[in-house]
Amino acid sequence: MLPLPISANRPVKERIAWAELCFQESGDLLLGDQKIADLLAEFNLAVKFSRQKMDRSGVVALCRECDREEGGSCCGIGLEEKYDAWLLLINKLLGVGLPRKRQQKDGCFFLGENGCLLKARHVICINYACTKITTNVQPSVIKDLREVEGQEITSLFMLNEQVKRVFRKWIKQQETA
């Protein structure tokens, strides 16, 4: 029987192991829930629009330039501590392979060579804007970006809550069986 999610203060590799085990044991059940399926589709669309808007606004280019040419990155070591087991489980439901080791010495555990390895990201990772972005991107463009990011965040929140409901109901059924 699966335990409820481990605490967010557990090491990231333990949270990943929990998410992988839960996906293995209950992935079909979760993916078979119609509301979760609908929310996954809605979330995928929100992510697509959000990332397209980031690219068109110039934010992606600014981040890439900062990371590759200036040696900086907002995706620093320790940022992975924001990710709880639920968010990692949602990434598994989205078909994301979770990393086994840190790929960049000073980077977030989920930072790959071409950016974030996760599809479902923490809210700070979705809408953080450094000074370089806020000084180089028009305020109206940032406002439009925030609206699209807000849809991604809202969609992720709804998905997270439904996954928790279905999973907890399944756990209770397992306990009484």
pTM: 0.92
Nearest CA to 168 among 71, 85, 109?
85
Q: How many domains, in total, are found in the chain? A: 1
Full residue range of the structural domain in which residue 100 is found: 12-168
Which secondary-structure segment (H or E) carries 53?
A: helix 34-57
The answer, yes or no, to whether residue 2 has pLDDT greater than 70, is no
51, part of any domain: yes
- Least confident range of 28-37, 63-72, 78-87, 118-127: 63-72
Does 50 or 174 have the greater pLDDT score? 50
Residue whose entry in the numeric block shows the structure tokens 């392979």: 97
As a whole-number percent, the residues of the chain with pLDDT over 70 amount to 95
Which pair of structure tokens corresponds to residue 51? 């990332």
Residue 15: name the closest of 24, 23, 5 by CA: 5
- Across 18-44, average pLDDT: 96
Q: What's the confidence (pLDDT) of residue 69? A: 78
Residue 158 and residue 75: Cα distance in Å, rounded?
A: 25
List, for residues 77-122, the tens digit of each pLDDT value: 999 999 999 999 999 999 999 999 999 888 899 998 888 999 999 9
Q: Residue 1's pLDDT is what?
A: 55
pLDDT at 5: 66
CA 122/CA 133 separation, integer angstroms: 19
Q: What is the arithmetic mean of pLDDT over 139-165?
A: 96
Q: Is residue 53 part of a domain?
A: yes
Give the mean pLDDT of the chain.
91
Q: Tell me if 4 is assigned to some domain.
A: no
**Looking at the domain assignment, is residue 46 inside a domain?**
yes
**Residue at 109 is within a domain:** yes
Burial of 94 per CB tally in 10 Å (0-12, 13-18, 19+): middle
Q: 25 — phi, psi (to 5°)? A: -85, -35
Residue 115 CA, distance from chain mean position? 12
- Within-domain flag for 128: yes
Label residue 174 by pLDDT band (50, 70, 90). Answer: confident
Task: Give the tens place of pLDDT for each residue, 126-135.
Answer: 989 888 899 9
Compute φ and ψ for 116, nearest 5 degrees. -70, 135
Give the residues across from 107 on adjacent strands. 76
